[in-house]
Structure 1
């Protein structure tokens, strides 16, 4: 078992545990296994390290007691060389393995504040990356010095700044659907419950770290740590951390980076509305903090005029809605800018409106093309529906009475359903055609994408949905009148068949229609999120 049998210098025990295997027969004589515990392959991994890397819990449970039973000098040497099994377990996301190892090796690494590039700081960094916030919370509560320790990575990076770069760990940075939001506050299912527990643990970590930093703020220079964490949170959209920092240290709203961008500048540049909405929890300072300019002479309205990052822009469904959202941002930021700043020029001699027009020129062209293609496709369907509806109206099912000219089935209830459905189909399809024609003939100015074009598209799609639904109802009524007078069971397959195209249209178009409706008529994304005054 001790012989190197692979090109990576693995022993037989390395290969065995690396394959996820373990044989209890190996434990009959522990003295045969103990000498193998300190063997390292080319990567410096012991058999326990390999077991931790692949998540071989059975092997780890057997090897850990043996390694703890090594002579003190040999064990100390083994631990000093590294790498640590617990680090490998965290690196590859084996939470159960971390739990097995943490109270032994984790205690040794976190017993004192970690230093930069130390194994302890790397371990904590990996816990953040793996999302093991419940384990991290236990360590933070036990070792309060972690909040102000020199940490793994760049200068002034701390555990708080690492958390700031993980917006998905917090409720404010998690995108939930309408139903998920309801479940989140009520009795959540398992997946939502786990997400909620993760958010709660992450927020508790932040609270502990902020409290620890503020305790030693004046005794030790913690401002660079807070600045890095706050600006990192603003750049990644982690509003929960920003709120905790500002609540404890209100002057943090004036923190700025090397380009003189403060947290609200960064929120506008990166289009994080939940961070920007913190401005509503400020007093009159909200108008002062937005008055600063960056090193290029850009005020916050210039920054709103720049095109949103592609990653944030692509989160919005529908090309027209992307332009609409950009206009909404520009108009909202304009409310907090002094009138003289609205026409002020930056270092390149451009006003905010000039920056917006230049930055969004290509976006307007792409959105114009998308609107026209959408309108052309829908107008064809609406025209076809109108044609079918008109044909059905003049060719009634069963024909007409030769003497009176009235339809033969005019006294049937199903005929009334048919007539009403055809009328709705005809009127709504014609209305849909008119709406889409108005889109095709629009001037496509920038401001048209804010209200005018979305409204027309909403009305056009809604009318098209009504026309198609009415057409299917009319078709079902016709089938019943002709074939189902004495076979009422025929309503079941006809109803199912009629629902298929309606459901297809709804499932394919309703997400866009709903998003457009909420973006145009729903509550604004810019609003006060909390009742406490931050500054």
Structure 2
């Protein structure tokens, strides 16, 4: 639809903006011939800014074929962005090529915060645009970083990592490998930024066995996990910039069409690309650092102080500490593989990697350290600046450690087993019982900091036991009554059940008796939990075990009650159903059984996983 204008022969700025928004060439031509570089809105955008932002390729091509004032395309809006910046933002590659052909120096123009079009290509994940601009801006001097940084020191590699465009970040590393060492004004490297995003790795998402337990519906999470492992990883490799393919396009071409599977596919590709990028950054830094000096591509040493501010912080050892806090075990493994000396590092609070794993309850990190023999007697004996051992840190309860668990009793059980697991490490060496600067042992600190949580856990256990006992009593009453009010009734003369001579009646009694038996099991487990002494050690094995017994017998009693009801229907109707009735009955039964199984998995899976950790991890 053609834009409505005030004067067809003399359009004003507002008319030009509307025409640029819609791509109306005729109106734009008239405006351009009169005011080629005038702003069309309050933000200072020219018609080229608007056309590029809306990707009106045909309109902008026609205008660019006209004669233009010198530096006409270099006009900037209120943010200092040229029209090329806007074309880069939306990935309008043909428009960008035409603009650069018309005004080649555009590729070097910066906005008010020092961002070049190349920086924007990295920040917005425009891979093909990045390849084009990189070829236009490439320099024979590999140390020439003009256009690769903005005013705050952030590089194009930082920008790609912040946007989670890890495929593009790998390309950037292939072209500018020394950016692995570059730091922004706060001394942050790209690797540090990457590790600050634990959700970019599988260990930080619901696709890990630990985080799976905290999802809202575990059966669905298990289904997604199965799909996740079945999806192949499309390995992406690159060597030279000129030969690079677009990993985003590869992903779009190969991802499943169904949105549910497509989302899982994208997550897996992101996790693998992030891990590949982390490996490359770690390997680059570890291979290039010798005696405090980095070795560039030409073999020329340059000191860390020459690559940006705060070069003595956020090193690979600091990254190891950060990865441990987040529980990003993939990064921890890779750093210790490439830089085994980093295991000796301590942070500003004199905490080593074992301290941090214990403090933040990072199960996978501890399991990895134990399996590879990284935990030495020296690490175990070390204390932080408050004289806390790793066992003290594991003993001290802090809210952030178990913030994903909302059931107090389960939280108390996890805290108890974590304390015992860390204590097992200490049992391997003969050490005296340490006290911290407050004069407390680890056991005393555990009891003191867990008082409130233990009180809340006792309340929850008693409430859950009460609920279980009430429901199981109702189910038991129903099945006990059914044992004497048999389907079909009794013979008036003999007093025996009418269906006494059929095989279906004993089956009915078997189902009903099984339901009654499991109800008694639920009552027994619930009563045992309710009248427990609630010692701290009870939360380690006995309460989780009673929870499994009560929950399992509860579900089994419900299932057998349903099967007894179905058997009773078969008895009183003599199994004479129409095809439709059979289909409906079978569908209802299957739906009920599946519902019970799914709900059982959702409720009981965390406890079974807890026992796996107790006995096998």
Please indicate the TM-score interval, normalised by the length of the shorter structure.
Answer: 0.7 to 0.9
> 2:397, 2:573 → 1: CA distance?
60
> 2:549, 2:136 → 1: CA distance?
63
Say which of 265, 268, 280 aligns to 1:208: 280
Contact residue 301 and residue 342 of structure 1 kept, 8 A: no
Deviation at 1:259, TM superposition (A): 0.4
1:30 aligns with 2:72: no
Say which of 497, 506, 511 aligns to 1:416: 506
> 2:122, 2:374 → 1: CA distance?
46
Deviation at 1:320, TM superposition (A): 2.2
Q: Once the two structures are superposed, what CA deviation does each residue of 1:4-47 show, in whole Å capped at 9, x if it has no partner?
A: 343322334434444x3526234224145966532222222223
Equivalent residues, number: 515
Contact residue 165 and residue 232 of structure 1 kept, 8 A: yes
- Residue 530 of structure 1 aligns with which residue? none
The answer to which of 167-176 and 294-303 deviates more is 167-176
1:99 aligns with 2:138: no
1:245 aligns with 2:335: yes
1:144 aligns with 2:216: no
> 1:376, 1:175 → 2: CA distance?
33
- Residue 9 of structure 1 aligns with which residue? 44
1:444 alignment partner, SS class:
coil
Contact residue 49 and residue 83 of structure 1 kept, 8 A: no
1:131 alignment partner, SS class:
coil
1:346-365 pair list within 5 angstroms: 346-365=436-455
Q: Once the two structures are superposed, what CA deviation does each residue of 1:172-205 show, in whole Å capped at 9, x if it has no partner?
A: 4443254455445445565555444433333333
Q: Once the two structures are superposed, what CA deviation does each residue of 1:397-441 show, in whole Å capped at 9, x if it has no partner?
A: 111223333211123343233111111111111221222122222
1:154 aligns with 2:186: yes
1:218 aligns with 2:290: yes
1:267 alignment partner, SS class:
helix
1:369 alignment partner, SS class:
helix
Deviation at 1:389, TM superposition (A): 0.7
Residues 33 and 191 (structure 1 numbering): CA distance in 2 closer, same or farther, change over 3 Å?
farther
Gaps of 5+ in 1: 528-535
Residues 77 and 456 (structure 1 numbering): CA distance in 2 closer, same or farther, change over 3 Å?
closer
Contact residue 141 and residue 208 of structure 1 kept, 8 A: no
- Residue 381 of structure 2 aligns with which residue? 291
Contact residue 109 and residue 120 of structure 1 kept, 8 A: no
> 1:88, 1:408 → 2: CA distance?
84
Residues 86 and 144 (structure 1 numbering): CA distance in 2 closer, same or farther, change over 3 Å?
closer
- Residue 168 of structure 1 aligns with which residue? 199
Say which of 130, 152, 162 aligns to 2:163: 130
Contact residue 234 and residue 275 of structure 1 kept, 8 A: yes
Residues 244 and 169 (structure 1 numbering): CA distance in 2 closer, same or farther, change over 3 Å?
same
> 1:284, 1:127 → 2: CA distance?
34
Contact residue 86 and residue 102 of structure 1 kept, 8 A: no
2:576 alignment partner, SS class:
coil
Q: Once the two structures are superposed, what CA deviation does each residue of 1:115-142 show, in whole Å capped at 9, x if it has no partner?
A: 8865884321221122222221222233
Contact residue 320 and residue 331 of structure 2 kept, 8 A: yes
1:442 alignment partner, SS class:
coil
Q: Once the two structures are superposed, what CA deviation does each residue of 1:432-488 show, in whole Å capped at 9, x if it has no partner?
A: 122212222222222211111111111111111111111111111222222354325
Deviation at 1:384, TM superposition (A): 0.9
Which of 1 and 2 has higher RCO (CA within 8 Å, sep 6+)?
A: 1
Deviation at 1:215, TM superposition (A): 3.0
Contact residue 380 and residue 426 of structure 2 kept, 8 A: yes
Deviation at 1:69, TM superposition (A): 1.9
1:48-447 pair list within 5 angstroms: 48-53=84-89, 55=90, 57=91, 60-72=92-104, 76-77=108-109, 82-91=114-123, 94-95=124-125, 97-105=126-134, 108=137, 111-112=142-143, 121-147=154-180, 149-155=181-187, 157-176=188-207, 177-188=221-232, 191-221=263-293, 225-283=315-373, 286-310=376-400, 312-316=401-405, 318-337=407-426, 343-447=433-537
> 1:130, 1:109 → 2: CA distance?
23
> 1:233, 1:446 → 2: CA distance?
31
The answer to which of 326-335 and 215-224 deviates more is 215-224
- Residue 533 of structure 1 aligns with which residue? none
RMSD of the TM alignment (CA)?
A: 3.1
